[in-house]
Structure 1
């Protein structure tokens, strides 16, 4: 990292040098959970080895990764410390001013998503936003209401949710209530309507710079290759779901921006970002995008990673760490596109552009 006249050069990308702390808030599911589920009575946990094998402490933290996850890497790129899980007892005092991670593995846009996991009712999406409101009151008690509003308005926000509404709801085996209630096209429309309500509430709570990720190629993760794939191929139904959902999500985000009169919501095409290294892993230094580094069964795609699982010797050669989640190296590729990707990946702008625009204000 090189600092030049008020900007920082990181991996060849120029971003503004941050003079004052910028809070960072994270909402969503296991792709961005940094440990909230460690404090819940749930089976959706990543608190035992070999999770965290490449994390700086070499210990599991509740991140569904061999090392750093997407929020960690965004924090790294903007020159900030990783924000703490909201349920962490360490989130108090000055740490509160850095922001918080409200994400919880297993949840979705809908309240009934992830119902098979115990005790997630505390961190459903609407509850994450309730906690965000509670967080603001805690900060206001410390620094006053006006400064708290400014902190929230100037903060960066990341929200990653939606995949579980398909994998852990609509396509639950044998048949879910939602699949009996809706056709796939109707279900996608319903999800988009419900997601819009969540994003509107986030805006009403003061968020003004929000990165919204789409779903990845859900049918191509090792878990789906093992369970639903045919002849080693991706699940056609889940791929179809992603192809319907992601464009409608982008359209909804563009409509919200038009409604509020500014580019508050930034759409990150994480489906395309994932597909780059899934379709051509060798071009990105992977030997496989089909076999998880840690797991069991076909493609190491059955269940989660445990101390008894098969474990690859080199995590950097695998696009997937466990049956559902990218490896740290894959997360770095995703964050690189979030930071500096073209409009093919980031609409209406990438994060480096956001930071540059905000630095001029």
Structure 2
């Protein structure tokens, strides 16, 4: 087992001892192990253990199918990716509930943190020491609004995800104590991805949808932004202090929308307009929240720009196409679900899109690279590498 920094329960290395974690209330199996545990505890009290490393920080994920690690596997919903060929390029080569041929964006961020992949919150494996890694609360199909994704019925809407975050913190407190749990949450990295479904699975889901009759597009965007502000404010109240907030990608360019709306293979202008209205206003409320808090808690990730780079010029990134999905059927492989009966490309690395809506693992790696080292055009006010460096110096 790799040693982790657990607040006062830290592991110290000596030439003759393996890392040992002292857990109050648990008797070590042997006298020597018990003695080592006592030594570790004493050294922790005396400040003899090293400061937490970046690999030790927890990671929490909220949002939709772009970041869902498998929560929907445990729900009675059609919004799930638990059948082949999903996961074909994952380490197990089996579907895990990720809407990807392999790893998704949270997995790749975990790699950059030097940490284990976060488990879905609903996973029965998320208990004990696994809680220290963090948790993924995301659920495919959800949006900012509660009525987004109603066709998927039983999904974890964002308010419920936040309730689960509170529940998680109680479990963590029971494991390591309230003060250490609070510190671990405060020091964690958080990723939240919302908004895309509020357009493709709500406003534009059907012609003359309820929301499109209720709001003109600019008014709908303002309504979404005002609701998102409340969600982010609540996330801060629950202890999040480093939050990466992604805007929507180029919604009109995904294979599903090309199949439904494009006559010539060009991105749909109406959905691109929606993203163009939403993303700048999202940046504005993040700036306003940071100003109100007095600290750079919220970091804007320009997902539109990150994705649009390879969508507009796929060959420059080594892709053969950014229009046709690897897995699917119909025009651009953009109709219906990716199933065992779908067309399946032989080389996923040459496709920007895995299915009708979601990028391949290789495209996700391009996005995370922007998050890590991108300029202020992509990450504002700082990129993830800067965040990690700053927090390590504290």
**TM-score band w.r.t. shorter chain:** over 0.9
Structure number with greater Rg is 2
SS at match of 1:211: strand
Q: Report how far residue 270 of structure 1 moved.
A: 0.6
Q: Distance in 2 between matches of 1:20 and 1:75?
A: 9
Q: Distance in 1 between matches of 2:218 and 2:55?
A: 45
Quick one: which of 90, 113, 123 aligns to 1:88? 123
Q: Report how far residue 20 of structure 1 moved.
A: 5.9
Point out which structure has higher relative CO (alpha carbons under 8 A, 6+ apart): 1
4+ runs deviating over 4 angstroms: none
Q: 1:348 to 1:19 in 2, by over 3 A?
A: closer
- Alignment match, 1:200: 233
Q: 1:113 to 1:31 in 2, by over 3 A?
A: same
Instruction: Note the alpha carbon deviations across 1:110-167, whole angstroms, 9 max, x for none.
Output: 00000011212xx100000000001001111111110010000000000001000000
Q: Distance in 2 between matches of 1:197 and 1:95?
A: 30
Task: Give runs of aligned pairs for residues 177-326 of structure 1, distance below 5 A.
Answer: 177-326=210-359
- Alignment match, 1:145: 178
Q: Distance in 2 between matches of 1:124 and 1:165?
A: 12
Q: Report how far residue 21 of structure 1 moved.
A: 1.5
Instruction: Note the alpha carbon deviations across 1:145-190, whole angstroms, 9 max, x for none.
Output: 1001000000000000100000000001122111000000000000
Q: Distance in 2 between matches of 1:19 and 1:26?
A: 17
Q: Report how far residue 303 of structure 1 moved.
A: 1.1
SS at match of 1:45: coil
SS at match of 1:104: coil
Aligned residue pair count: 344
Task: Give runs of aligned pairs for residues 335-350 of structure 1, distance below 5 A.
Answer: 335-350=368-383
Kept in 1, the 8 Å contact 2:54–2:392? The answer is no
Task: Give runs of aligned pairs for residues 2-81 of structure 1, distance below 5 A.
Answer: 18=53, 21-81=56-116
Q: 1:19 to 1:267 in 2, by over 3 A?
A: closer
Kept in 1, the 8 Å contact 2:54–2:113? The answer is no
Structure 1: gaps (5+ residues): 1-15
TM-score, normalised via structure 1 length? 0.94
Q: Distance in 2 between matches of 1:140 and 1:26?
A: 19
TM-score, normalised via structure 2 length? 0.86
Kept in 2, the 8 Å contact 1:268–1:347? The answer is yes
SS at match of 2:191: strand
Q: 1:348 to 1:138 in 2, by over 3 A?
A: same
Q: Distance in 2 between matches of 1:328 and 1:34?
A: 13
SS at match of 2:150: coil
Kept in 1, the 8 Å contact 2:143–2:195? The answer is yes
Quick one: which of 145, 149, 153 aligns to 1:114? 149
Structure 2: gaps (5+ residues): 1-50
Kept in 1, the 8 Å contact 2:54–2:114? The answer is no
Kept in 2, the 8 Å contact 1:18–1:79? The answer is no
